[in-house]
Amino acid sequence: MNAIRSKTTKFLTIFFLVLLQLETIGWAQAQKPTALAELAAYTGLDREQRLIAGAKAEGKVVWYTSLAGSSYKELAKGFEAKYPGVRIEPYRGTSVDLMTRIIAEAEAKHFLADAIETTLPVLRYMRENKMLTPYVSPSLAKYPSNAKEKADRGLFYWAIDRETYMGVGYNANMIPASAVPKNYADLMKPELKGKIAFATSDTGTRTIGSMLKHKGEEFVKKLKAQDIILHSVSGRAMADMVISGEVGISPTIFRDHAMESKSKGAPIDWVPMEV
């Protein structure tokens, strides 16, 4: 799910507070609705009270997320402060990590996660394999239609929770300012040959998709002549490779990853990319 805005590829990472297809939930009250699907679709005035009571009865919410850095920890703290008695048990991994774990749980028919925050490929896989329970929330009324995935009966599978910017991250000790690309065409600069790396995760896939959309297949074929290096890593891991000098430059770097590391003294810088 790509959008070009402010001359930068903007990736919409998806968040959904959707419970997985568990059989039932241990609610403190014996009142209806009690089945998971009914609870997810419930719109009664006591909806929030029921959800809070059920969460307190269980004592925790298991949350899978691919958010990097400390942001997911801050979100968990905020949730626990708002809902005393409900502990967040986070599992943080790359989208590949999450996919691997979710598939293993599905094969074992034993889902552990209550809520997941991750990227579209994982969510689409889960939806297609009937691992998601459609839900409704009053807050979704504030979302534009293109920021939430519709299910049947006025329910939804997920909604967008964050927007992150993708651009060129480079090692400031290895790449001179004159060689730093400002647009896709600049990636063809002779001085960058053999120094450009792409992540092969969905981070890299979407970058290539953007290039195909805006520059065409011939451009991507020509880019191959730059001796592009491929690494099967996440966007965060690619940023770390740039910092260490293992990679000189990569157009698959998230701005927040680069800026957070730069603020701590790492030799990395970041620029947006014009198409």
Domain match, 28 and 124 both: yes
Domain match, 100 and 171 both: no
Give the mean pLDDT of the chain: 86
List the CATH number of the domain containing 258. 3.40.190.10
The answer to the question of residue 52 being in a domain is yes
Decide if pLDDT at 174 tops 70. yes
33 cis-preceded (ω within 30 degrees of 0)? yes
The answer to the question of residue 138 being in a domain is no
Whole-number pLDDT of residue 33: 60
Confidence of residue 168 (pLDDT cuts 50, 70, 90): very high
Domain match, 174 and 128 both: no
The residue from 108, 133, 158 where one domain ends is 133
Q: Cα separations (Å) of 259 from 18, 62, 167, 216, 264?
A: 31, 30, 12, 30, 9
Confidence of residue 135 (pLDDT cuts 50, 70, 90): very high
Q: Which residue has the tokens 């005035």?
A: 45
Decide if pLDDT at 28 tops 80. no
Decide if pLDDT at 31 tops 80. no
Decide if pLDDT at 23 tops 80. no
Domain match, 120 and 172 both: no
For 25, the 3-state DSSP assignment is coil
Average pLDDT over residues 239-259: 95
Confidence of residue 219 (pLDDT cuts 50, 70, 90): very high
Question: Which amino acid would we find at residue 225?
Answer: A
**118-128 burial string, b = 16+ CB within 10 Å, else e?**
bbbbbbeebbe
Confidence of residue 128 (pLDDT cuts 50, 70, 90): very high
Assess contact for 249 and 170: CB atoms under 8 A. yes
Q: In this prediction, what percent of the chain has a pLDDT beyond 70?
A: 88
Average pLDDT over residues 111-119: 91
Average pLDDT over residues 137-149: 92
Average pLDDT over residues 123-129: 92
Confidence of residue 32 (pLDDT cuts 50, 70, 90): low
The answer to the question of residue 233 being in a domain is yes
The answer to the question of residue 219 being in a domain is yes
Average pLDDT over residues 211-225: 93
The answer to the question of residue 80 being in a domain is yes
**Could you tell me the two tokens for 229?**
């290096």
Confidence of residue 195 (pLDDT cuts 50, 70, 90): very high
The total number of structural domains in the chain stands at 2
Domain span including residue 243: 166-271
Domain match, 126 and 180 both: no
Task: For the beta carbon of residue 212, count every other beta carbon within 10 angstroms.
Answer: 12
List the CATH number of the domain containing 103. 3.40.190
Counting other chains too, the contacts that 176-184 makes at CB distance below 8 Å and 24 or more residues apart are: 180/249, 180/269, 180/271, 181/249, 181/251, 181/271, 181/273, 182/271, 182/273, 182/274, 183/273, 183/274, 183/275, 184/211, 184/214, 184/215, 184/219, 184/273, 184/274, 184/275
The answer to the question of residue 221 being in a domain is yes
Question: Higher confidence at residue 198 or residue 201?
Answer: 198
The answer to the question of residue 175 being in a domain is yes
Whole-number pLDDT of residue 191: 95
Q: Which residue has the tokens 């241990």?
A: 26
Domain match, 180 and 79 both: no
The residue from 118, 133, 148 where one domain ends is 133
Distance CA 224, CA 198 (A): 11
Q: Which residues are within 8 A (CB) of 70 and not within 5 positions of it... i.e. 6 or more apart?
A: none
**Could you tell me the two tokens for 74?**
């801050």
Whole-number pLDDT of residue 274: 86
The answer to the question of residue 179 being in a domain is yes
For the chain, first and last CA: distance in Å? 17
Domain match, 128 and 67 both: yes
Domain match, 95 and 185 both: no
Q: What is the pLDDT of residues 55-99, one digit of tens each?
A: 999 999 999 999 877 889 999 999 999 999 999 999 999 888 999
The residue from 133, 157, 180 where one domain ends is 133
Average pLDDT over residues 225-230: 95
Average pLDDT over residues 250-272: 94
Assess contact for 275 and 212: CB atoms under 8 A. no
Whole-number pLDDT of residue 200: 87
Domain match, 26 and 129 both: yes
Domain match, 30 and 121 both: yes
Decide if pLDDT at 198 tops 90. yes
Average pLDDT over residues 17-29: 41
Domain match, 129 and 192 both: no
Confidence of residue 25 (pLDDT cuts 50, 70, 90): very low
